[in-house]
Amino acid sequence: MISQNCLHDALSYGKCFTGLGRPADYIPELARVNKHQLGVCIVSLDGEILKEGAYDRPFTIQSISKLVSLILALHDRGGEYLFQDKVGVEPTGDPFNSIIKLETRTRPFNPFINAGAITVASCIEGKDTEERFGRFLTYIRHLCNNDEIYLNENVYLSEKSTGDRNRALAYYLKASGILEGDVEECLDFYFRMCSVDVTALDIANLSAVLANHGTNPFTGENLIEPSCAKALRALMLTCGMYDGSGRFAMKVGFPAKSGVGGGIAAVVVDRMGIGVYGPALDEKGNSIGGIKILEYLAKKLDCSLF
């Protein structure tokens, strides 16, 4: 399907661009990483795993966790309710942490901007944050085939203590009747889910499940409803790369979700899941080297949807 050489070349190509970006700097834990790190991992649906570079380097999952929380919320509430009453499914031209449209439109535009993801987080069931986060952790371990996925306590505490912009979004949503339950509990869950440590390998496994219509390609266990996996792939394509999703669709052309920790989860349906890690970000908040690797692979493997 794809040779180790090809993956090696993809990584080398990506490395040419890491100097042009910079790591997220809103918390010291993210700011002090080596921005030239780059890793990639491919999990094909026939069980082959290919890896290159810093594929096993842990990083915080950040916004990629929004995939997992959305699946949980869709399971708990159903798409009918969630996408009608709580959050839209439309891309927005605004940055991921923008608050402006909440004043004019009430409902967040989609589940991948922060306002939408916080809303979704408030819809996950559980008697308290502990229980909700426990469900999240159990679930993501299944999706990533890795029982060793844990919270990065330092990042979590940093996120929590500096997360005032997200707090503003959450209280605004509460005031508008969108966010359910207690705001600080919801935010506590949100900051935790963003602060889980993963590797490119973990992310590739998660993506492979999405590529395989929700079924773990190794165990055959169904982890996501096929229709839900399909909805997620569509959302990832239109909204997954923040306000750079349009360009990514044109240049790469398959569903992906990025996080400011430097990860990108990418899905080649019926073929493979790809995980990349590169903490140097472009001005939209997407991994600059990661995008270049995916561009390279999309061309070599001819796997753009377009």
Binder of a copy of itself out of 82, 237, 264, 293 (CB under 8 A) = 237
Beta carbon of residue 180, minimum distance to a copy of itself (angstroms, whole number): 13
Per annotation, catalytic residue among 155, 209, 260, 276: 260
Which ranges of the chain does DSSP label H, i.e. alpha helix? 4-15, 28-31, 65-77, 79-81, 100-105, 114-121, 129-143, 153-162, 164-175, 183-194, 200-211, 226-239, 245-251, 288-300
| CA–CA distance, 11 with 290 (Å, rounded to integer) | 9
Q: Binding residue per annotation — 5?
A: no
**291: Cα separation from own chain's centroid:** 14
Binder of a copy of itself out of 51, 132, 160, 174 (CB under 8 A) = 174
How many CB atoms are closer than 10 A to CB 32? 10
Please say which residue, 37 or 207, places its beta carbon nearer to a copy of itself.
Answer: 207
Q: Which of 111, 260, 123, 118 is nearest to 195 (CA)?
A: 260
| Radius of gyration in angstroms for the set of CA atoms belonging to the chain, rounded to a whole number | 18
Asked if residue 24 binds a copy of itself (CB under 8 A), the reply is no
Q: Binding residue per annotation — 260?
A: yes
- Choose the stretch contacting a copy of itself; rule: CB under 8 A; options: 40-48, 67-75, 85-93, 128-136: 85-93
Q: How many residues does the chain have?
A: 306
Please say which residue, 59 or 96, places its beta carbon nearer to a copy of itself.
Answer: 96
Please say which residue, 39 or 163, places its beta carbon nearer to a copy of itself.
Answer: 163
Residue 51, phi then psi, degrees to nearest 5: -145, 150
Binder of a copy of itself out of 28, 78, 134, 246 (CB under 8 A) = 246
Beta carbon of residue 274, minimum distance to a copy of itself (angstroms, whole number): 16
Asked if residue 305 binds a copy of itself (CB under 8 A), the reply is yes
Please say which residue, 22 or 284, places its beta carbon nearer to a copy of itself.
Answer: 284
| CA–CA distance, 65 with 48 (Å, rounded to integer) | 24
89 is catalytic: no
| CA–CA distance, 124 with 104 (Å, rounded to integer) | 26
Binder of a copy of itself out of 265, 269, 288, 301 (CB under 8 A) = 269
Residue pair 23/279 in contact (Cβ under 8 Å)? The answer is yes
Rounded to 5°, the CA angle 65-68-70 comes to 105
272-277 sheet: strands from edge to edge? 49-53, 39-44, 272-277, 263-268, 256-258
Please say which residue, 235 or 288, places its beta carbon nearer to a copy of itself.
Answer: 235
Beta carbon of residue 17, minimum distance to a copy of itself (angstroms, whole number): 17
Enzyme catalytic residues: 63, 66, 190, 242, 260
Q: Binding site residues, as ranges?
A: 63, 114, 159, 166, 190, 242, 260
Binding-site annotation, residues for substrate: 63, 114, 159, 166, 190, 242, 260
Q: Which residues contribute to the site for a copy of itself (CB under 8 A)?
A: 88-94, 98-105, 109-110, 164-165, 167-172, 174-175, 183, 230-231, 233-235, 237-239, 243-247, 249-250, 253, 255, 269, 304-306
